[in-house]
Amino acid sequence: MRKITYLLFLVSCFSLGQNKQILYGFSEIPQALIQNPGGQVTNKWYFGIPLLSHIHFNSGSSGISVYDLFADNGVNFNTKLENAIYSMQENNFVTANQQIEIFSGGFAIGSIFDKKEYISFGVYQEFDFISYYPKDYAILAYEGNQNNVNRVFDASHANLSAELISVWHIGYNKQVNNNFSFGVRGKVYSSILNANSTNNKGSFVTRIGQNNFYNHIFNLDLELRTSGYTTSGEEDRFTANDYKKRLLLGGNLGLGFDIGFTQKIDKQWTVDASLLDIGFISHTKDVENYKIEGNYQFEGVDPLFYESPEGQTADDYWSNVEDEFEELFEVDSTKTKYTTWRPAKLNASLNYAFGKKKTEACNCLSDNDEYLNRVGLQLYAIARPKQPQMALTAYYYRRLFNGLSAKATYTVDAFSFKNVGLGVSAHLGNVNLYLMADNFLEYQNVYNAQSVSLQLGLNYIFNRK
Amino acid sequence: MIKHLFKIAFFVISMGLIGVSCTEEIDLDQVNDLEINPVLESSLFYFEAAAGDFFLGGSGAYTAGDYVVLDIFDNEFVNDNLIKAELVFETVNSINRAYQVQVDFLDNTNTLRHSFTFSADASPNNENLTFEHIEVFEDETLENLKETTTLVFRLTMLPGAPVDPNSPGSIHLKSKGVFYLNIDR
């Protein structure tokens, strides 16, 4: 039980990106079409088993692992904390992403004998979180300013974003000819909860003063924007009812789209790419923003022993200082609506298929059967508040036999240079089952993994042929 | 059928592989050991005055006083986390008269909780003479500091060579607080 709790903690607190490198291009699985609306379609129609068709967790920490901080190894926690504080950089981050498909389905359309078009649709719920490491805040809190005279503490190190949304989508895929297909997917987002603070500016610095030991210079412009959770008013702030209502398009709404294509270069080479979640959400309901803004310099209380030319005493001056500080750190609350951009994602891959199945009858290569093996390179990028994150994957795919295929991946990203992943898809009759996970090399101690990712799902499929 | 069984077996084994990840012991309760010790420094008070700025002249003693009511010491955060404090005063005097500064700490009933004095010697040649005083607050004196709501300053120009508003030199006082915090869970 403890293990499970820890694993949940791990998944919920230390997760990274949304890279689905194993699922991408795995065309036996209908959900691969979510990763590339212009991907290859291999089924006639399908529906996802509600709530089970696609379950995805992904979490990561680009600086340290859970084990680095919480290992039960006799090392004092504060020593480990100190190591973490100084070893991490402000561009390190923790992220978590979770998706559950509520329902989904798809069907081919076109003339009875030649169905080259495909419609897919569905609803999924997504949680996405990223927080950069607020290094300067951590160091100021850890050390204080005594040994940091002239060090400019950068207020922009606080940078985080969290969203809980539902996505309603419908996609269109067309196989233009034997070599080229493309697809688009329209999306309506309904934001359930949102919080972000991605545009903080300013600094705090202690400098040697002219009149006194130090001149403390505050220059702050910080803002946290939230929607979906209000702290004012009588009613409950967020209820299960709110969740249901907003899941059903009753939240703050937004629009977006995905596009993608697949191009066969020759019989064995294929190139494909997709752009996902080009979209925005407009936050107009239940908005609460908090802002701290101002400049202030403090060198000390001046007119001691005699009144200033304006007749101000030391005590007056001090009262002023207190007021100024209060004003500086006073949190202004507004209800100004705002817009957030969804984290756009790019996928691209180059693939080489080889090795046809030998038929038993004539010991010759079967002509119709597809190639059994595929290798390729995949590129993934996602727009994030500070800078895009990228991952490069090499993979080997193998159709073990009809209805069972597997894909192994090797990924290099911000978390790891040796992330090995494995995915399996099985068709049992018309039921499709798939399961994929990565970071296998860290499985001897999962807490040492800087990222973990898991996807699984269950579909009912009616295949072509 | 055998094929199906094989598929199921393969699938179950894969799931098993994913499921049986090992873990080494971690202990999240360690977060309760969290303890940090930041040291903050802040400018406090200062003044700079020429010989003739704020007294009447002559050779007798002259005293100026001032006070500040403040709540930076007597609050919950300081009470919980401040483990030591130092008040640092630096006087630069180029007036040919010695000075003494007295600082009294009063609580909210105006009871005297702490007091100290420091002095700066006269500067016969009007050179800058620097004097430093560090008042350390620990244990009992720290508790007295944490009760303080009013600071009373008294600056005394000690008897000596006569000065008038045109006498050369100036006196410059700087001060800062050094606050040692211990923040734990």
The span from the CA of B7 to the CA of A28, in Å, is: 15
Closest CA of chain B from A313, distance in Å = 8
Q: Is A308 on the interface with B (CB under 8 A)?
A: no
Domain tally for chain A? 1
Q: Which residue has the higher pLDDT, B30 or A22?
A: A22
Name the residue in chain B with its Cα closest to that of A407. B14
Predicted confidence (pLDDT) at residue A3 exceeds the cutoff of 60: no
State residue A231's pLDDT score: 77
Per-residue confidence band for B23, with pLDDT thresholds at 50, 70 and 90: low
Predicted confidence (pLDDT) at residue A303 exceeds the cutoff of 90: no
What's the whole-number mean pLDDT along residues A278-306?
A: 89
State residue B3's pLDDT score: 66
| Full-model pTM | 0.83
* Candidates B26, B36, B66; nearest CB to A304: B66
Weakest mean pLDDT among A53-67, A210-224, B91-105: A53-67
Per-residue confidence band for A415, with pLDDT thresholds at 50, 70 and 90: confident
Predicted confidence (pLDDT) at residue A291 exceeds the cutoff of 90: yes
State residue A67's pLDDT score: 79
List pLDDT tens digits, range A125-174: 999 999 999 999 999 999 999 999 999 999 999 999 999 999 999 999 99
Closest CA of chain A from B12, distance in Å = 10
* Candidates B26, B39, B53; nearest CB to A70: B26
Q: Is A437 on the interface with B (CB under 8 A)?
A: yes
Per-residue confidence band for A345, with pLDDT thresholds at 50, 70 and 90: very high
State residue A341's pLDDT score: 95
Per-residue confidence band for A235, with pLDDT thresholds at 50, 70 and 90: low
Cβ–Cβ of A77/B30 closer than 8 Å?
yes
State residue B64's pLDDT score: 80
Predicted confidence (pLDDT) at residue B57 exceeds the cutoff of 70: no
Q: Is A145 on the interface with B (CB under 8 A)?
A: yes
* Candidates A318, A428, A447; nearest CB to B26: A447
**Averaged pLDDT of chain B:** 85
Cβ contacts below 8 Å, chain A against chain B, sum to: 185
Predicted confidence (pLDDT) at residue A12 exceeds the cutoff of 50: no
Q: Which residue has the higher pLDDT, A210 or A418?
A: A210
* Residue-number span of the structural domain to which A455 is assigned: 2-463
Closest CA of chain B from A29, distance in Å = 15
List pLDDT tens digits, range B125-184: 999 999 999 999 999 999 999 999 999 988 888 888 888 778 888 889 999 999 999 998
Distance of CA A428 to the CA centre of its chain: 32
List pLDDT tens digits, range A360-369: 555 555 555 6
Residues in A closer than 8 angstroms to B7, CB to CB, are 403-404, 426-428
Name the residue in chain B with its Cα closest to that of A78. B34
Residues in B closer than 8 angstroms to A213, CB to CB, are 41, 43, 88, 90, 174-176
State residue A9's pLDDT score: 40
Those residues with Cβ within 8 angstroms of residue B78's Cβ, 6 or more apart along the chain or in another chain: B72, B146, B179
* Window 160-219 of A, Cβ < 8 Å to B: 206, 209, 211-216
Predicted confidence (pLDDT) at residue B58 exceeds the cutoff of 50: yes
State residue B25's pLDDT score: 72
Cβ–Cβ of B155/A428 closer than 8 Å?
no
Weakest mean pLDDT among A181-195, A196-210, A266-280, B21-35: B21-35
Q: Is A9 on the interface with B (CB under 8 A)?
A: yes
**Which of B46, B88, B133, B182 should be substituted to probe chain A, the one whose Cβ sees the most A Cβ atoms within 10 Å?**
B46
Closest CA of chain A from B93, distance in Å = 14
Per-residue confidence band for B32, with pLDDT thresholds at 50, 70 and 90: confident
Per-residue confidence band for A2, with pLDDT thresholds at 50, 70 and 90: very low
Cβ–Cβ of B64/A306 closer than 8 Å?
yes
State residue A364's pLDDT score: 55
Judging by beta carbons within 10 Å of its beta carbon (0-12, 13-18, 19+), is residue A236 exposed, middle or buried? exposed
Predicted confidence (pLDDT) at residue A457 exceeds the cutoff of 50: yes
Per-residue confidence band for A183, with pLDDT thresholds at 50, 70 and 90: very high
Weakest mean pLDDT among A301-305, B7-11, B53-57: B53-57
State residue B158's pLDDT score: 87
Cβ–Cβ of A428/B7 closer than 8 Å?
yes
State residue A7's pLDDT score: 42
How many beta carbons lie within 10 A of that of residue B4, not counting itself? 14
* Candidates A212, A301, A443; nearest CB to B21: A443
Predicted confidence (pLDDT) at residue A289 exceeds the cutoff of 90: yes
* Candidates B18, B47, B69; nearest CB to A437: B18
**C-alpha dihedral sign at A369, A373, A379, A382:** positive
Cβ–Cβ of A67/B35 closer than 8 Å?
no
**Averaged pLDDT of chain A:** 87
Closest CA of chain B from A130, distance in Å = 22
Q: Is the ipTM of this complex over 0.90?
A: no
Predicted confidence (pLDDT) at residue A222 exceeds the cutoff of 90: yes
Per-residue confidence band for A444, with pLDDT thresholds at 50, 70 and 90: low
Closest CA of chain A from B27, distance in Å = 5
3-state secondary structure chain A: CHHHHHHHHHHHHCCCCCCCCCCCCCCCCCCHHHHCCCCCCCEEEEEECCCCCCEEEEEEECCCCHHHHHECCCCCHHHHHHHHHHHCCCCCEEEEEEEEEEEEEEEEEEECCEEEEEEEEEEEEEEEEEEECCHHHHHHHHHCCHHHCCCCEEHHHCCEEEEEEEEEEEEEEEECCCCEEEEEEEEEEEEEEEEEECCCEEEEEEEECCCCCEEEEEEEEEEEEEECCCCCCCCCCCCHHHHHHHHHHHCEEEEEEEEEEEEECCCCEEEEEEEEEEEEEEECCCEEEEEEEEEEEECCECCCCCCCCCCCCHHHHHHHHHHHHHHHHCCEEECCCEEEECCCEEEEEEEEEEEECECCCCCCECCCCCEEEEEEEEEEEECCCCCCEEEEEEEEEEEEECCEEEEEEEEECCCCCCEEEEEEEEEECCEEEEEEECCHHHHHHHHHCCEEEEEEEEEEEEECC
Name the range with the highest mean pLDDT among A33-47, A366-380, B61-75: A33-47
List pLDDT tens digits, range A245-276: 999 999 999 999 999 999 999 999 999 999 99
Residues in B closer than 8 angstroms to A440, CB to CB, are 17
Domain harbouring A321, CATH code: 2.40.160.40
Q: Which residue has the higher pLDDT, A41 or B57?
A: A41
